[in-house]
Structure 1
Amino acid sequence: MLTPGRAIMGALFCPSTRYQTRMRTTTTLAVTCTLATLLTAATAATKTPSAPAAPAQPKLVVVMAVDGLPQEQLLRYRDQFGDGGFRRLLSQGAMFSDAHQAHGTTVTAIGHSAILTGAYPYQHGIVGNNWIDRATGESVYCTEDRRHKYLGEETKPDDGTSPARLRVDTLGDQLRYATGNRAKVLAVSGKDRGAILLAGKTGTAYMYMEGSGNFASSSYYMAQHPAWVQRYQAARPQDRYYGKTWRPMLADSDYAMDAGEKAFAVSYYSESGQPDAAYYQRLKGGPFVDELTLEFARAAIEGESLGANPAGVPDLLGVSLSAHDYVNHANGPESRQSHDHLQRLDRMLAGFFTYLDKRVGADNYLVVLTADHGFANSAEFSQQQRMDAGRVDGRKLMDGLRAHLDGAFGAGKVTFKASLPNVYLDQAALDKAGIKRFDVEQAASRWLLAQTGIAEVYTRTRYEEAGATGTRLDLLMRRAWHRAESGDLVVVPRPYWAFGSGSSGATHGSPYAYDTNVPLLMMGKRWIVPGRYTRNAEVVDIAPTLATVLQLRPPAASEGRVLTEALVGGAAR
């Protein structure tokens, strides 16, 4: 048998056809090889082994976000999970233990934007849940669009109705483009921003209506709801919880690791004695809104035939589960209520995955689960742990800054508006007063840094002239700053400090690990290699990784890496 080297040498010295003819007249040795024969042999012998064939595309990709779930909680309570929810993801999927929402302002809108754009705020333009519009000087909501209305529901001016303020495309948009709009992209959430920012520009978003308890879309997406949505709304599933009480599902001893509060009981009712807007709003603050979200997701899978696309192309479903964020805000992630809610959510996920197994087929779908942000413990709990912790009253802080600038530059000459952490200077007023913005930035920064609980202040001049510097904090905050949408000053609290007032509850929004470190789990045995991966990963890695699986072009502003270490055949791609 010819080795690769020998086959090539044989081909080089094989007689030509004309030479073979001459040789037959002078010798009894018949030379029968031809150049073509040896070249064929050489090619076969030197052929590089082909890479493993990429597995077929999933029929359905389900991208799930648990609003306000820090990685720490997932690990702390993992021994109490059942078999089919989080535990299934952890045992049958890939788990990235050092995964982060790697930008400095960790809030719901920014985190949801990162998941399927693969982009940071400095590109996608969503710099908060709310910010100040420089053109009008008014506060704007991240997904408000007064050109559009909810379908069949009351719409307030600042309600979220479209992705107009999202400046980039998403994975779903790329999927729709690549398939000639044959792929279906749909997202559902308890919050409008949770659905809209996952659905992207060309998908369809459905959100929970706190006035009626319905899930509804807006006129941005369609003129009227399809028949399956109308049937779902007519059944009024949201009313089944009226008069029910949320109590701990585990034994008291199972909550020993919590902050020590006594058993709780949360009842769902209204003063009118029947389901009404007060009841539907109250429903948002506990596990039942997540049950409804997953129930509507099932209805969407069946109503839109997701995962069984007649065109034979993959579909994409985004599911954002909102209640954990509300529970943590009210009680802190160290609370018994937060602990119990996560256990209930685990059982809900188990039921949802079982449904997907039967409806779509266990080998036909891929699931990604992450969070839009983590959570700090309540200041009071952190203080009990002997941490330097507290709350910075944003209104008092801005009143103090205004008084300081009046004293430094003259009363009323420096005006600004704030949507913390952003502070917006009135440039026209500065020009009129002959005051340089740089001088105001410096004076404001010095004063703010002297205040209790403030760690750092970033300025527009610093970003425009120097960009990011070498520290991790600088990098995260620079990623969170958008030239057109962000403030002239960005104020960062110290670790375990947060903007807010009052004496209870907790929040998020900082660049610190308790807010950035979130779960990143992927499951789908035909595409994902199970295991725990300790290499740093970011939520922006989800979009390019799924683009690789789906054989798509990544979204235009995507900066994440492909998580090849967790992909079947990843090393060969």
Structure 2
Amino acid sequence: MESFYIKGRGFMLLALLLTAGHLAAQVTIRERRGEQREEVFDQPPKLIVGIVVDQMRFDYLSRFWNHYGEDGFRRLAGDGFLCRNHHFNYAPTSTGPGHASVYTGATPAVHGIIGNNWYDKETGEDVYCAGDSQVQSVGTESGAGMNSPHRLLVTTITDELRLHHQMRSKVVAVSLKDRGAVLPGGFTANAAYWFEGGQDGNWISSSYYMEALPDWVRKFNASGAAGAYKRVWEPAEPLRTYVESNLDNVPYESPFAGQEAPVFPYDLPALWDGNGAFDLLRITPFGNSLTLDFALEALKEEELGADLITDFLAISFSSTDYVGHKFGVDSKEVQDTYIRLDRDLARLLDELDDRVGEGEYTVFLTSDHGAVPVPAYLADAGVRAGYPDNALIQKQFGEFLRYTYGTTEIIKASSNSQLFLDRDVIRNLELDPSEVEAQLAAELLGYEGIYQVYTGTQMRGASYKQGIPAILQNGFNQKRSGDVLIVYDPGFAQYSPTGSTHGTVHNYDTHVPLIFYGKGIPRGQLYRRTEIPDIAPTLAAMLGIAFPSGTTGEPIAEVLK
């Protein structure tokens, strides 16, 4: 009996030793696996800062590179990830569609913002992309605050961030332009603010977001921050060093009211009353500086990025667009505006380092569209460029309509280089709408200055994969777009002979910068093509949140490695 007990104890001891060895082996395996396993969902950045620079061509990075300091564009591009071949994949390339596409990850075909303004087929009236008669202005007695995102058809990345965190994330959007704040803010933003110029020069909002301006906004408006920029605009660096731009006094620029020539220096106090008072700041680099002043106040007062729940600050710098429209792509005024914006970006990054913490935030910078060099300048330089003869086109087209159909009323409206047919007139004439579209397209294609023409029937029935028709189709919304789509010759613009414009399918309007910087972003550059709708899903993948509801873009994998 004793022998069996001893043997039993030996057996139990052996079993315990074997069990302990097995458990130790399991621990070792678990430890080894833990060392090899990647963390699937890292702690996300405390703050995302989305920067849209209005009318920024990609080559403004390289052209003015030697004038930029170390802490603005150079810091973003050198320490971040630069996409060199980044494009809009739709037209029209304008501010409303641009901001909507950046933040929804979709094109106008899906998100529905087909222009800054467009003809509404249901009401028979022109509508504004952010206009909303059902809301009230906040912070002003005028109608300048009657805006909301109600014309958007899908969610934004800012919406998805708020929804993911059960509305605990904060989203604030800021821009001189109402559409530059409303569309990035999406449906659920805590606040969107834009600038009302005129005699007041205040930041305002809409009853869609709030009943009254917060105390900090009222204090900012009362502080005289905007009035501090009522000063002389002189070049930030010696004008003779701006060799990357045209001469200072050329016929491709337009002067301010009260000016004999569009040349430096610009005495804003002397020009003030004749040029819209505070609206004058929009057409100077000081408009960007004021925008940043207000955005930094929002960063501080709203405590953005102060905890581990990711917040979002959307900033759109609009003065670059206003200056480009007035003076043109190759002007010294545009160059000076970007040199000053570079300094503002350095100021922004320094403040983010201090308030949020270096390495705790993520920034992306892109544009809402590019711009064409002034066609008059191109033509003088020997490049095929110019302006369509609209009077002649209208005369020829009117004669064609009367001869073919007996009336010009077959065309109900036109907007964004699209014609809208009057279906009632076509029905009364017992005509086939698709055949009418084809006849009009064939006629217009023969006119000088018109490059290509497509029909609504083609846009609805075909599936284009590349080239101009694909770009048009991505911008074609079945319920909102027109029946005949016109593309003008490259280098030709429906605009004044001074200043630059945009809106077309051509590369000068589609090629813009894209830079990611900060937490979760490797250093690098990418030469393969990326597209505007790729931005939102890239952010969503990085944050581990749902993609915006209409997303058509793809995450840029190289940015996330």
Fold in common (TM above 0.5): yes
Which residue number corresponds to residue 58 of structure 1?
45
Using the TM superposition, give the Cα deviation of residue 91 of structure 1 relative to its aligned residue in structure 2, in angstroms. 1.2
Question: In the alignment, which of 430, 433, 437 is matched to residue 437 of structure 1?
Answer: 433
Using the TM superposition, give the Cα deviation of residue 234 of structure 1 relative to its aligned residue in structure 2, in angstroms. 1.3
Which residue number corresponds to residue 218 of structure 2?
230
Which residue number corresponds to residue 448 of structure 1?
444
CA distance in 2, matches of 1:548, 1:121: 22
Deviations 1:125-183 (A, max 9, x none): 000111000012111111110111221324448x7610010111011111111111111
Deviations 1:350-373 (A, max 9, x none): 111111111111121111110001
Which residue number corresponds to residue 167 of structure 1?
153
- Tell me how large the CA RMSD over aligned residues is: 2.6
Aligned pairs for 1:249-398 (under 5 A) are 249-262=236-249, 263-269=263-269, 278-309=276-307, 312-394=308-390, 397-398=393-394
CA distance in 2, matches of 1:153, 1:414: 42
Counterpart amino acid of residue 551 in structure 2: S
CA distance in 1, matches of 2:228, 2:235: 19
CA distance in 2, matches of 1:270, 1:31: 97
Using the TM superposition, give the Cα deviation of residue 343 of structure 1 relative to its aligned residue in structure 2, in angstroms. 0.5
CA distance in 2, matches of 1:460, 1:425: 10
Matched, 1:98 2:56: no
Question: In the alignment, which of 537, 549, 557 is matched to residue 550 of structure 2?
Answer: 557
Which residue number corresponds to residue 476 of structure 2?
481
Residue 398 and residue 187 in structure 1: after superposition, are their counterparts in 2 closer, same or farther (change >3 A)?
Answer: farther
Counterpart amino acid of residue 294 in structure 1: L
| Cα pair 2:136 2:207 within 8 Å, conserved | yes
Residue 141 and residue 403 in structure 1: after superposition, are their counterparts in 2 closer, same or farther (change >3 A)?
Answer: farther
Matched, 1:219 2:214: no
Which residue number corresponds to residue 12 of structure 1?
none
Q: Secondary structure at the match of 2:155?
A: coil
Counterpart amino acid of residue 213 in structure 1: G
Which residue number corresponds to residue 173 of structure 2?
187
CA distance in 2, matches of 1:388, 1:65: 31
Q: Secondary structure at the match of 1:95?
A: strand
Residue 126 and residue 395 in structure 1: after superposition, are their counterparts in 2 closer, same or farther (change >3 A)?
Answer: farther
Which residue number corresponds to residue 559 of structure 2?
566
CA distance in 1, matches of 2:136, 2:486: 35
Question: In the alignment, which of 501, 505, 521 is matched to residue 511 of structure 1?
Answer: 505
| Cα pair 1:64 1:367 within 8 Å, conserved | yes
Counterpart amino acid of residue 235 in structure 1: S
Using the TM superposition, give the Cα deviation of residue 392 of structure 1 relative to its aligned residue in structure 2, in angstroms. 2.1
Q: Point out where structure 1 has 5 or more consecutive residues left out of the alignment.
A: 1-20
Normalising by structure 2, we get a TM-score of: 0.90
Which residue number corresponds to residue 16 of structure 1?
none
Using the TM superposition, give the Cα deviation of residue 398 of structure 1 relative to its aligned residue in structure 2, in angstroms. 4.2
CA distance in 1, matches of 2:386, 2:275: 34
Using the TM superposition, give the Cα deviation of residue 195 of structure 1 relative to its aligned residue in structure 2, in angstroms. 0.5
| Cα pair 2:329 2:499 within 8 Å, conserved | no
Normalising by structure 1, we get a TM-score of: 0.88
Question: In the alignment, which of 513, 524, 530 is matched to residue 531 of structure 1?
Answer: 524
CA distance in 1, matches of 2:119, 2:209: 26
Using the TM superposition, give the Cα deviation of residue 411 of structure 1 relative to its aligned residue in structure 2, in angstroms. 2.1
Which residue number corresponds to residue 418 of structure 1?
414
| Cα pair 1:210 1:277 within 8 Å, conserved | no
Question: In the alignment, which of 504, 514, 522 is matched to residue 520 of structure 1?
Answer: 514
Q: Which moves more between the two structures, 246-255 or 444-453?
A: 246-255
| Cα pair 1:406 1:414 within 8 Å, conserved | no
Identity %: 34
Q: Secondary structure at the match of 1:269?
A: helix
Residue 24 and residue 122 in structure 1: after superposition, are their counterparts in 2 closer, same or farther (change >3 A)?
Answer: same
Using the TM superposition, give the Cα deviation of residue 541 of structure 1 relative to its aligned residue in structure 2, in angstroms. 1.4
Residue 396 and residue 301 in structure 1: after superposition, are their counterparts in 2 closer, same or farther (change >3 A)?
Answer: farther
Deviations 1:320-353 (A, max 9, x none): 0001111111111111111111111111111111
Using the TM superposition, give the Cα deviation of residue 43 of structure 1 relative to its aligned residue in structure 2, in angstroms. 9.2
Q: Point out where structure 2 has 5 or more consecutive residues left out of the alignment.
A: 250-262
CA distance in 1, matches of 2:466, 2:528: 20
Residue 457 and residue 160 in structure 1: after superposition, are their counterparts in 2 closer, same or farther (change >3 A)?
Answer: farther
Deviations 1:74-103 (A, max 9, x none): 111111101111111111111111111221
Residue 221 and residue 248 in structure 1: after superposition, are their counterparts in 2 closer, same or farther (change >3 A)?
Answer: same
Q: Which moves more between the two structures, 431-440 or 220-229?
A: 431-440
Using the TM superposition, give the Cα deviation of residue 553 of structure 1 relative to its aligned residue in structure 2, in angstroms. 0.8
| Cα pair 1:405 1:443 within 8 Å, conserved | no
